[in-house]
Homo-oligomer: A and B are copies of this chain.
Amino acid sequence: MKDKQFLMIPGPTPVPETALLAMAKHPMGHRSAEFSDVLKEVFEDLKWVFQTEENVFLYTSSGTGAMEAAIYNLVNPGDKVLSLVIGNFGERWAKISKMRGADVEMISADWGKAIDPAVLKQRLDQDVNKEIKFVTLTHNETSTGVTNDLKTLNEIIQEHGAISIVDGVTSVGAIQLKMDEWKVDVVVSGSQKGFMIPPGLAFLACSKKAWKAYENCKCPSFYFNFGAYKKSAAEFTTPYTPNISLIMALGETMKMMKAEGLENMFDRHARLAAGLRTAVRRMGLKLFVEDDSIASNAITSILPPDGITVPQIRKTLSKDFDIVVANGQAQLENKIFRMGHLGFVSERDLITAIGSLEMALTKLGYEVPKGEATTAAIKTMLKA
């Protein structure tokens, strides 16, 4: 049906009406006192979500822009970077670092697995001369649906002394990430995920330890420059014309996030993910990530049943049920489909999605006991 489309991809996510309507307003001047008031509040709220006392820089870019910001403001050509790779987005850190001219080493886990802390510890223990200056990693790997144990991995990095650079694009606001308490050095995120607004803004927070690397950085980025953004943040403004419309929308969703509270947000994401995993198993389908202790609370990767293809499932869900789910990426294309459940998503949406998936599979010839998966999910969500 027209205008009925519901996105269950890992971003963009559904957007609340108040945020959409904020975007439909004429932009105000970005150098006005009125807009500075908005920024002042948004800057404070971002610190709250990032659980940090540091400034959170607000970039007009995609999440990848904030990833570039991290590397191009901290890493000098020739610096040694260790990239922990468990999927497509972990690889992106390595690619950006290579383009910057860094000496990149990778520790990779099979797609669908998390980084083993023992493997990281072993490698960093070997680095007695402290050649490794930076470790990049992904908190929640969107391409597979795996969440790394960031707290433990970061402890190992901090013991070694390297600077940790973390992709929190699909975790901040959805999955627990205590930046200051865990002593994470750099966290980046994007607007179209836990923040519940459309794509076009990215965020970056940087520890005092990482700031020293910025001060030693040769030819850093101008557009993403840490120093320029820090100076502007103190004046409740941005160095260059920002995306005013998205910031107004962010002001609205931040109010919603504060009303819900961080712990409640994390609990909601955990509850929805648990419900979906229960339902998938009840339908007799296989989860790509079978170990619940590393399965993402933001996105779930599912294997199609024998005889039915990923494109068939995506097409039926889209055409007959107005639900958009994502295909696998790279080597997982057509091997899995991925259902996003982050940001502006509630129990009601999960029930909708599970019921629709039951019906879609039945239409495609895979017999599912009707309603049982939905029932199982409801029970799980009530208990969780």
A interface residues, Cβ below 8 angstroms from B: 5, 7, 9, 11-12, 14-15, 20-21, 23-32, 60-65, 67-68, 71-72, 77, 95-96, 99-101, 190, 192, 198-200, 218-223, 225, 239-246, 324, 326
| B21 and A15 form a contact (CB under 8 A) | no
Q: Tell me the bound Cα distance from A110 to B222 in angstroms.
A: 25
Chain B residue with Cβ nearest A77: B219
| A26 and B7 form a contact (CB under 8 A) | yes
Q: Tell me the bound Cα distance from A60 to B240 in angstroms.
A: 13
Q: With A199-B60, A199-B244 known to touch, is A221 a contact of B68 (CB < 8 Å)?
A: yes
How many copies of this chain does one complex carry?
Answer: 2
| B199 and A27 form a contact (CB under 8 A) | yes
What are 20 contact pairs spanning A and B, CB under 8 A? A5-B26, A5-B28, A7-B29, A12-B30, A14-B26, A20-B23, A27-B199, A29-B326, A31-B326, A32-B324, A60-B61, A60-B200, A63-B241, A65-B65, A65-B240, A67-B222, A95-B222, A199-B241, A199-B242, A200-B243
Q: With A5-B26, A26-B14, A245-B198 known to touch, is A100 a contact of B222 (CB < 8 Å)?
A: yes
Residues of B within 8 A of A24 (CB): 20-21, 23-24
Q: With A68-B223, A221-B68, A222-B68 known to touch, is A199 a contact of B30 (CB < 8 Å)?
A: yes
Interface of A is mostly: loop
Chain B residue with Cβ nearest A200: B243
Residues of B within 8 A of A241 (CB): 11-12, 62-64, 190, 192, 199
Chain B residue with Cβ nearest A65: B223
Q: How far is the CB of A41 from chain B (nearest CB, A)?
A: 20
Q: How far is the CB of A238 from chain B (nearest CB, A)?
A: 9
| B27 and A225 form a contact (CB under 8 A) | no
Residues of B within 8 A of A60 (CB): 60-62, 65, 199-200
Q: How far is the CB of A381 from chain B (nearest CB, A)?
A: 24
Q: Tell me the bound Cα distance from A244 to B222 in angstroms.
A: 25
| B7 and A15 form a contact (CB under 8 A) | no
Among B95, B218, B225, which residue has its beta carbon within 8 angstroms of that of A101?
B218
Q: Tell me the bound Cα distance from A296 to B248 in angstroms.
A: 31
Among B14, B99, B200, which residue has its beta carbon within 8 angstroms of that of A246?
B200
Chain B residue with Cβ nearest A6: B26
Q: With A200-B245, A244-B198 known to touch, is A25 a contact of B20 (CB < 8 Å)?
A: yes
| A12 and B32 form a contact (CB under 8 A) | no
In the A-B complex, the 10 residue pairs with the closest CB atoms: A200-B243, A24-B24, A68-B223, A64-B240, A12-B27, A101-B219, A62-B240, A27-B198, A23-B23, A96-B222
